[in-house]
Structure 1
């Protein structure tokens, strides 16, 4: 059977349109960050890297102050892009009401900073390892355990506690709960060792900074 020139053009047109529709569907899938798309995986990785960097920056500043002793002070700055955008956090971690949670305490026989994105309410499942890893920890020299110590933490207006499920146990962890839109593009972290004040973590939304006092043994 012979196909007329007009019919051949029509078939070619339909083939081109079919390819364009497939490409458009893939583009939309990527742009909306569906959980099976490469863009979703890239976004989750970028958010995770930023969480890890924030944890490391806090722990490093605390290690520096602890090493120098009472009366010392250190300031560092962290560039924030993803953690300050609630829509990114919703898509990256499949969370409806994302809040950035920062706490400090032991992981095994070492202490350090934890950073995790949790829902504003409800119980958060924390995973430090494996394919479901969503909690990022960085070790520090400062031997302080504030995970379950409410007096270490400022109430940022969202409270300062989170119900967590970790390792099969449900616990209450205390820390800084910060709304994404309250985090500046450059977060300032100030750590000092004032022996006349207690160990304390606070976040000032107006100045865009986290302030930490460590008083080891005090």
Structure 2
């Protein structure tokens, strides 16, 4: 009788463990499907946003460094990119079809000037504030509004931010390298220029205050 009870207890315990494992498996499958509004989609969107902000910070910091040193200065920095290189992940997490990374430079309200980074595409509507914020800005020392001048950008495109038409640089996620090289110079003989070289995986920026 005791043996039968032990066998019954083992069988019951096995069934309970099996049921728990099945529930965990179903949750895991649900968690990687990137359904809109799911915890996994929101977490991935946050990672993408953090990488956008980090890219904006890196560019603005490099520009500030060159501006502080003066004409003839040059600096190079590297930005590690993971999420911004995956168009499928971006589409699933942000709900934007055919995503493209958009970079520009200019003023934000009365705070100052700096680098903007966002992801544009079908379904994109620029939002600078609030819960649905999808445009990230980082202040820099270089006081110049460049998004009004399409000639600054090597692959210029325009985006509407509210009632403002903004020009900037567009880069396909597939073109971005794992480590983006950002090279900033102040060459007085050249105008403001922003050029992305997909072969070298580098973003070249020249600043020229008043030039």
Instruction: Report the TM-score when normalising by structure 1.
Output: 0.85
- Distance, in Å, in 2 between the alignment partners of 1:217 and 1:162 is 24
Secondary structure of the residue that 2:177 maps to in structure 1?
Answer: coil
- Distance, in Å, in 2 between the alignment partners of 1:101 and 1:163 is 9
Secondary structure of the residue that 1:83 maps to in structure 2?
Answer: helix
1:55-102 alpha-carbon deviations (Å, 9 max, x no partner): 000000001111111111111000111101111211221111110000
Contact 2:51/2:81 (CA < 8 Å) preserved in 1?
A: yes
Contact 1:124/1:165 (CA < 8 Å) preserved in 2?
A: no
Aligned to 2:179: 186
Secondary structure of the residue that 2:83 maps to in structure 1?
Answer: coil
CA deviation after TM superposition for structure 1 residue 124, in Å:
3.6
CA deviation after TM superposition for structure 1 residue 147, in Å:
1.3
Contact 1:124/1:163 (CA < 8 Å) preserved in 2?
A: no
Taking only aligned residues, the RMSD between alpha carbons, in angstroms, comes to: 2.3
CA deviation after TM superposition for structure 1 residue 19, in Å:
5.0
- Distance, in Å, in 2 between the alignment partners of 1:124 and 1:98 is 9
CA deviation after TM superposition for structure 1 residue 12, in Å:
8.5
1:163-182 equivalences under 5 Å are 163-166=159-162, 169=163, 171-182=164-175
- Distance, in Å, in 1 between the alignment partners of 2:80 and 2:17 is 45
Contact 1:102/1:114 (CA < 8 Å) preserved in 2?
A: yes
1:6-45 alpha-carbon deviations (Å, 9 max, x no partner): xx99999887776555433321221112223222121111
Structure 1 unmatched ranges of 5 or more: none
Aligned to 1:139: 139
Aligned to 1:47: 48
1:4-153 equivalences under 5 Å are 19-109=20-110, 110-119=112-121, 124-153=124-153
- Distance, in Å, in 1 between the alignment partners of 2:106 and 2:175 is 24
Structure 2 unmatched ranges of 5 or more: none
Please say if 1:202 is aligned against 2:195.
Answer: yes
